[in-house]
Structure 1
């Protein structure tokens, strides 16, 4: 494995560029399996390296190069579950979508045989008409005869096996149960932060001056932190509820997984914002000279560190 392969495996684009500048011949290097740096980048899910290679004219020869088994980078991407890389490759006009390996398999064969991508393909045909399959499933780019016969012999005409479909159905059911818990948590956070936005710490000005109705502690730094944190918590929790509502209507596992991840991240941010808002609100109404003020700061820092540690 060459230095260029190692840099591609680690995702170090700057190192790759330096190697190419110093030794242009490194562009043609392959390992003992015939894999070039683009193969290695795809195998290790280095999206930044894939983009770099596609945008680097000196590496054009890697785009359709085959390894010892005849698999091009698109074959390798289609055999994996990395749809982002597949999308980039099929959108590139230089990529040969009709390439066959040594056993006459095309990239679309791997798409159809992959349990996870097969489910994605199945849902896309019925609702979204997947761009990936649409570009691969063209005259000359259809599934190979060998692959079609294999699927017929194993009762797998279509996009997926029954077992894979059942697995995705059960996983979708579990994800929806998780969504139900997340939407409850996000709804509670949205309710609490919405109410806190109107019950300002310290109250409002009651005199007849021009500041009547304004927050009394608006000039304090801790109050400003409270307002910012409470706003972030409310907005993130509200968006999380909205995303999870749409996710509950979705049946495709991959889209449902994406909804769940995004909603979980937003719920995490909103819960952290709520904790910061609570701590800063308490600190705003306590005299800074008392020990309680310091205890409040320490507890808030510990809470924030616990959130960050839990996320990592």
Structure 2
């Protein structure tokens, strides 16, 4: 069929599109293969916007067409549109996750991952500008991506992310942890300050330069990573959660089978009709359930990758904290019920009342101390 119209396959319409462009736009792999088999140079023809067939297929997310074009014409990866953008730029800008994955895996694209367009934006910059959280995670997890690259406005992707009001604070925290993990997160202010000091050295002499460099060393934090900026699953908080929940689950499980007051010969709990015993049993079950839920969530996060399931991972991590708090509260109430169940309320020594008093004091005093320390820190 194509042999009958040898010139038609290279004729462009008013938009500069040739038949191959339309085949790429529609995602028709078989037609694209036919065109390339007839004339592989068609892959290098650009429309009036400088878009090649690879750009167009990346924009639409047609991964089959993209693979065909790259396999037959790998040099098309180096083609730039009128804005100086590669196919990866276009895929990121349009939010085509599958297209981004394909291009990151292709060997022909290895040296183009950090390519900058006319405005100095890398694909990571465009992902930050468009607020594409899933693609941002994908690029941030790739060690080859230069997270430190500056665009023409003197901003890196981290600066753009911090200024973006569309992203949730928890999403920003997860993204910032990627920068902290690689020890490459520096703010735009620090970069400008260091650049200014170098210029001062060139104009005002060596002595002032050494003085300002000393100021930089004194004001630069020794550790760029903080628990707040790195809420990932490898932080001390995350490790504490799983350790604490393992202990809580074990204790509450054992308490359910070593109940206060012991058992009758029939195996039934002696104090099963006592109201405090019922309080103990109900809240012990609640504490066991919430602690077991945290453990299940922790294992779910490790099974399902954050890149593929960003929302699941994010919400799971957010849910762990309130569940830990509930588990602690339920365990305290269960302990109170168990203590009261084995004590006589009519005991003249008021042992039950004293036990309650000491339980409340042992909890409130440390909390009050932490509150006072916090207020003092905030005030001064």
The TM-score normalised by the length of structure 1 is 0.44
Greater relative contact order (CA < 8 Å, ≥ 6 in sequence):
1
Query: What is the TM-score with the length of structure 2 in the denominator?
Result: 0.37
